[in-house]
Structure 1
Amino acid sequence: MKKFPFLFLFLHFFYGCIISYSDFPKKEKTSNPKIYFSVEDPKNWNERRKEFLKRGWKELELDRFPQKNKDRIHFLISRFPGLSSQEPEVRKALSAKGWKEIENYPPEKGYYIDMKSSQKDPSLGAMIFLYISYATFTIIPSYSGKDGANIIFTVYKDNTVVKTFEYELTRKAFVWILTLPLLWLNYIYPSEMEAYQAVIDQFESDLYSSKL
């Protein structure tokens, strides 16, 4: 099973392989996206708060999700597909949310997030045809539409699990030597990192909406 993603990478760069990702959260097309706010300066607090609420923004409860350095949300990635090259970018995406990566041990007090991303295995038939395609230098086509990743975010408070959020992304790949002229489609379809970014954005929204 572990060799399967490697074959996709090999075929993608040296033969004809079109890859796209699906089943990850899609951003809603709306002119009024949900925006969160907090005002730390007590001066003119009521006026600014009313102004933001009128705009439809949602107020963050600082006592639940404080953002000071000593109390900010921490995160760690305890599992990630070994053959994926996106882990550094995923770390950057999590840090961009204002969350701090855990360097040694999880904090005993406060919130932290444990992210696990595990490989979602393809069907046996897809594996067989991919190996046949690989052996024939992609003269024989193959298709896989069920592998990808299962992603779990576990939220801890004071080292106790308070909630778990589960998501998935599915990778679809079509391998055939005649697709070489169409490889530019890979730049149009959602990439692996775009899929992970959508999952992280959805998790952030679900986290603050859960009222833990």
Structure 2
Amino acid sequence: MKFVHLLFLLILTFSSCITRYRDYPIIDPPAKTSNPSKIKLFYHLEPFPILEFGGYAALKSFFKTGLKSQFSDTEEIFDPKNIPQKGVYCKVSTQWTPISAPALIFGYLSMATATILPAWSSNEGFDVTYSLYKDGQKVKDFTYSPRRSIFLWIFTLPVIWVNLITSSEEEVFKATSYQFIEDAKPYLNQL
């Protein structure tokens, strides 16, 4: 019986969180071209520094299949030191920006009280850097900094559905990838 109460408390605690992303590009997916580039894109995705909720999978999917209309082919390079000396290469690194110390303290207090005490954070997020290389030489870094606002309180349960209409981590990382392709077009067109 204690297990059931503990399980109910955990479900209640973790389901009373509202999350919203901001400061990320709002852009449509790149238009599919009937004449893709003859260039092959090599890429490396650095592992995320923290637990992720769809961001890494979105990047992997984007580079594996989402760029087929832009490039003749894409190939993942698993060793980041193995930069191809011929062709186009993109290295994606993600740096986590942690929550502030007060938000962390209030978060612990909120969790300790089963979210009866509220907690929030508005500065946590990621810095995503797409480093573009041509023939082994760095061309440019493109950095995007989406931030996440989190509100944790047991009384948010009636409006928890709001999470369904806000962007997910997966959607945010897809948007940064689409923006990267748009921003890199002048450099890619020179190839």
User: Shared fold by TM > 0.5?
Assistant: yes
C-alpha separation in 2, matches of 1:194 and 1:102: 24
Correspondence for 1:77: 45
Query: Which residue of 68, 76, 91 corresponds with 1:101?
Result: 76
Unpaired stretches in structure 2, ≥5 consecutive residues: 1-9, 69-73
Distance 1:159 1:12 in 2: 51
- 1:109-158 residue CA offsets vs partner (Å, 9 max, x unmatched): 11100000111111111111111111111000011010010000111112
Does the 8 A contact of 1:20 with 1:173 survive in 2? yes
Structure 1 match to 2:144: 167
Which amino acid in the other structure matches residue 84 of structure 1?
E
User: Distance in 2 between the 1:129 and 1:174 partners?
Assistant: 11
The 2-side partners of 1:14 and 1:85 are apart by 14
Instruction: Give the equivalent residue in structure 1 for 2:60.
Output: 91
Given the alignment of the two structures, is residue 177 of structure 1 paired with residue 154 of structure 2, yes or no? yes
Residue number among 182, 188, 195 corresponding to 2:165 in the alignment: 188
- Give the equivalent residue in structure 2 for 1:14: 14
The one of 180, 186, 191 aligned to 1:203: 180
Structure 1 residue matching 2:156: 3-state secondary structure: helix
- Once superposed, what is the RMSD of the aligned Cα atoms? 2.4
Q: How does 1:122-161 map to 2 (within 5 A)?
A: 122-161=99-138
Percent sequence identity is 32
Structure 1 unaligned spans of 5+: 1-9, 40-59
Separation in structure 1 between the aligned mates of residue 23 and residue 165 of structure 2, nearest angstrom:
17
CA distance in structure 2 between the aligned counterparts of 1:16 and 1:34, rounded to whole angstroms: 36
Runs of 4+ in 1 over 6 A off after TM superposition: 10-13
What are the within-5 Å matches in structure 2 for residues 105-116 of structure 1?
105-116=82-93
SS at match of 1:73: strand
1:23 aligns with 2:20: no
Q: How far 1:11 sits from its partner (Å)?
A: 7.9
Given the superposition, is the C-alpha separation of residues 110 and 11 from structure 1 closer, same or farther in structure 2, using an over 3 Å criterion? farther
Distance 2:11 2:84 in 1: 43
- Structure 1 or 2, whichever has the larger Rg, is 1
Whichever residue aligns with residue 116 of structure 1, its letter is: S
Q: Is contact 2:117–2:153 with CA below 8 Å preserved after alignment?
A: yes
SS at 1:115's partner residue? Answer: strand
TM-score when scaled to structure 2? 0.79
CA distance in 1, matches of 2:14, 2:33: 48
Deviations 1:136-191 (A, max 9, x none): 11000011010010000111112211111110110111000011121111111111
With the length of structure 1 as denominator, give the TM-score of the two structures. Answer: 0.72
Kindly tell me: are residues 176 and 11 of structure 1, through their superposed partners in 2, closer, same or farther at Cα, counting changes over 3 Å? farther
